[in-house]
Structures are given as C-alpha cells and as structure tokens.
Amino acid sequence: MIAIIIPTYNERENIATLLEKIFSLSIFGLEIIVVDDNSPDGTADIVKQLQNKYPLHLIERGGKLGLGSAYIVGFKKALELGADYIFEMDADWSHDPADIPRLLSACQNGADLAIGSRKVPGGGVVGWNWWRKFESNGAMWFSRLVLKLKPHDVTAGFRCFNSQVLKNIPLDSIRSNGYAFQEELLYYTQKLNFKITEIPVLFKDRASGLSKLSHKDIAEFFIVIIKLKFS
C-alpha cells in the first residue's frame, strides 16, 4: 500500500482538483490521508464529498496545530493502515502529482527516502522572488553546515519514505512543528544510515491561497537546528 499525506488549512480552492489529479494516476494500492486543521473555508467538507469516490481518509483536528504535528498524525495513520511507502506532499499544487511515480520508483528500487529536490540538475523553483530564494537558500546552507546534512535540498516537503524509516524514527520526540520539521526528520533519517536519494522536480509557487510560512516558523527553525546540534 502507498499512502500520501496532505496537510491542509484553507485549501478549498486546491484540494478537490489535486485529489482528482493524484487518483487519475491510477497507482495501485494508493490511499490519501488528508490532515485538516479545522479550515474555516470548508476544506474538510470538500474532502468528505470525495470519500465516496476514492480511498481517502480525513483526519480533522480542532485547530491550526502546525505542519509537523499534522505529518506525525498522518504518519501514524499510514503505518496503522499498513503502508509500505509514505509520501509528504503540499496541498497547493507546488508539488506536481506527475512526479509521484518517479519518487515512488526510487524507493521501490532501493532508496529509503526519495526527496523531490529543487537543488539537483533538472530541478528548480518557479514563482519565487529574490527574497524568498534568499531565505530558502540561507536556511539550507545553515542547516547543512550545522547538522552536516548530505542532501542538497534539505527543506523540501515533497518526499517518499520507505515505511521502515518512519518505524525507526521516534516520532513523538520530534521537537519542531513548522519550517524546521523537514530538517529534523531528515537529520534522524541520515543519522540512522538510511539511503537517501534526490529526484529532480520543478517546484511551483502556489497559484491559489496564501503562504503558510510565518516569522514564528523561521525563528523556530534556527532554535531547533541549534538544539539538534548540541543534543
């Protein structure tokens, strides 16, 4: 079984078309887990309408509780369902569903973690201004330097895990809940000597809705990286 976890908050404009597109890929054994943080725009209602049509799970949470905790809840649900491969994916079309089979294939052929990478030949970003690129590149440089992370794109949120990785990571001990979550998860994956590969993807800035990145997330990022370094 293959599980794709999609956290949502106010993604009514995107979620239906995204889910339809993913399921149109006709990937055998695919199920999607949407973790919704009580979106006031009715995102969860759209998902419920599609549950009669697709193998689709909805986890509704009581408030905006954060990206990291949403993924951890999703990971636990996927493992409970018996998933062999587990994806992280954004709801805003930043990640192209057409790239899902390539990440899946990488894991089926021996990788423990396949990262949809913007930082290897063939990958890139469309739609970011110079400041957003500066922030992202600075975060990557800092975390790779401090934690000695080997992958080039350490902040990428488009990933496919062999379930054995997530079974071996102490999910409840993960400290970060925002921007730093991806680095912390990658840090544990690398520390446990799992095989990590990067698959080039083109990241497109969201077409609809607002970005969820906050100043609080950025501050948490630096705090978490330093704590991991000295833990």
Which residues share a beta bridge with 197?
Answer: 114
pTM over 0.95, yes/no:
no
CA dihedral 57, 93, 79, 162 (to 10 degrees): 150
Q: What whole-number distance in Å separates Cα of residue 23 and Cα of residue 56?
A: 10
What does the pLDDT profile of the chain (231 residues) look like in tens digits?
999 999 999 999 999 999 999 999 999 999 999 999 999 999 999 999 999 999 999 999 999 999 999 999 999 999 999 999 999 999 999 999 999 999 999 999 999 999 999 999 998 888 667 666 666 667 767 776 777 789 999 989 999 999 999 999 999 988 788 778 998 999 999 999 999 999 999 998 755 545 555 566 667 776 777 777 677
Q: What whole-number distance in Å separates Cα of residue 97 and Cα of residue 4?
A: 11
CB 60, CB 70: distance < 8 Å = no
Q: Copy the structure tokens of residue 121.
A: 């030949």
Structural domains in the chain, CATH included, are: 2-230 (3.90.550.10)
- Residues across the chain: 231
DSSP track, 51-92:
TTTS-EEEEE-SS---HHHHHHHHHHHHHHHT-SEEEE--SS
Give phi and psi for 32, each to the nearest 5: -120, 135
Q: Copy the structure tokens of residue 222.
A: 């630096």
